[in-house]
């Protein structure tokens, strides 16, 4: 672990170690850091195991305050505080998000894993693509673009991958409703399949509750 610290110390903003070594890096240093981790003979993190984005906008927000529940009877936890309560996005409204891209690397030679996190500031979704360092990043970056809208600069084929042809929005952001915005249905008058606003009644079955153990 000291080896890692020594090699990349000036590049990282944060260093922690829980289940594995976790480095936080500015996006300007991202490629440099990954290159060092991959090419250093003492580390050899040659495999990009996983790349994903995370939306931290609702982190630590619960849907149900139990304090009020005891004084004024039980509510059903349906105050629209966070994502699973369906909340149709108004098109003029600016969608809120707080994205982080997470990389998991594996070194087979030394049997080590490492996690690299890169936070995106809210005014720019652009992050350098790592496809030239790791070939396996190709599809992972397409996935993160599709589901979260992260734009990977330098990726030469940044298309949607998992969602349908012609899909609008980035569904894994926390503010994107769980039911989606549109549904497909057959319109007997036009005699074709059309997209229409979704008509599922929103429900919260089990509200999100945060309890700190003592």
Partner 1 sequence: MSEYKNFTMNFGPQHPAAHGVLRLILEMDGEVIRSADPHIGLLHRATEKLAESKPYNQNIGYMDRLDYVSMMCNEHAYVLAIENLLKLDVPERAQYIRVMYDEITRILNHLLWLGAHALDIGAMSVFLYAFREREDLMDCYEAVSGTRMHATYYRPGGVAKDLPTVMPKFMINKNHNLEQIEKLNYNREGTLLDFIDSFVDRFPKNVDEYENLLTENRIWKQRTVGIGVVSPERAVELGFTGPMLRGSGISWDLRKKEPYEVYKKLKFDIPIGTEGDSYDRYLVRIHEMRESANIIKQCCDWLKNDSGNYISSNTKIAPPSRDDMKDNMESLIHHFKLFSEGYCVPEGETYTAVEAPKGEFGVYMISDGANKPYRLKIRAPGFPHLAALNEMSKGHMLSDVVTIIGTQDIVFGEIDR
Give the nearest distance from C-beta 31 to partner 1 in angstroms.
16
Identify whether the C-beta of residue 27 lies closer than 8 Å to the C-beta of residue 153.
no
At CA 176, angle to CA 179 and CA 24, rounded to 5?
135
Find the part of the chain contacting partner 1 (CB under 8 A) among 5-13, 25-33, 89-97, 111-119: 111-119
Binding-residue pattern over the window 144 to 183 for partner 1, x denoting contact by CB under 8 A: ----------------xxxxx------xx-----x-----
Rounded alpha-carbon distances, angstroms, from residue 19 to 111, 113, 114, 213 = 14, 9, 9, 20
Task: Single out the residue of 71, 72, 111, 124 in contact with partner 1 (rule: CB under 8 A).
Answer: 111
Rounded alpha-carbon distances, angstroms, from residue 110 to 29, 42, 45, 114, 117 = 24, 8, 9, 12, 21
Name residue 113's beta-bridge partners: 106
Binding-residue pattern over the window 65 to 94 for partner 1, x denoting contact by CB under 8 A: ------------------xx----------
Would you tell me which residues interact with partner 1 (CB under 8 A)? 18-20, 46-50, 52, 54-55, 58-60, 62, 83-84, 102, 104, 108, 111, 113, 115, 134-136, 138-140, 160-164, 171-172, 178, 205-206, 208-213
């Amino acid at each position: 672990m000291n080896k890692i610290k020594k090699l990349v110390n000036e590049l990282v903003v944060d260093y922690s170690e829980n289940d594995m070594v976790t480095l936080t890096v500015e996006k300007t240093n991202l490629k440099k850091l990954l290159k060092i981790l991959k090419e250093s003979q003492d580390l050899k993190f040659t495999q990009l195991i996983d790349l994903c984005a995370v939306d931290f906008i609702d982190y630590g927000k619960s849907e149900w305050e139990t304090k009020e529940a005891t004084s004024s009877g039980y509510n059903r936890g349906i105050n629209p505080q966070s994502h699973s309560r369906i909340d149709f996005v108004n098109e003029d409204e600016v969608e809120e998000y707080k994205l982080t891209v997470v990389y998991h690397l594996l070194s087979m030679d030394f049997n080590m894993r490492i996690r690299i996190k890169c936070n995106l500031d809210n005014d720019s979704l652009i992050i350098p693509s790592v496809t030239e360092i790791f070939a396996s990043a190709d599809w992972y970056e397409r996935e993160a673009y599709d589901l979260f809208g992260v734009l990977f600069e330098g990726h030469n084929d940044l298309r949607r991958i998992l969602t349908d042809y012609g899909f609008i929005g980035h569904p894994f952001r926390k503010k994107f409703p769980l039911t989606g915005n549109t549904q497909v249905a057959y319109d007997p008058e036009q005699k074709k399949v059309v997209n229409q606003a979704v008509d599922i009644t929103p429900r919260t079955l089990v509200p999100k509750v945060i309890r700190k153990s003592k």
